[in-house]
Amino acid sequence: LAKTTQPISMDSYEGQEVNITCSHNNIATNDYITWYQQFPSQGPRFIIQGYKTKVTNEVASLFIPADRKSSTLSLPRVSLSDTAVYYCLVGETDTGRRALTFGSGTRLQVQP
- Binding region for other proteins (CB under 8 A): 32, 34, 38, 41-46, 49, 87, 89, 91-94, 96-97, 99-105
Nearer to other proteins, 8 or 112 (CB): 8
- Nearest distance in Å: CB 112, other proteins: 26
Distance of CA 76 to the CA centre of its chain: 14
- Nearest distance in Å: CB 31, other proteins: 10
Q: b vs e for 4-37, b when ≥16 Cβ sit within 10 Å of the residue's Cβ?
A: bebeeeeebeeeeebebebebeebeeebbbbbbb
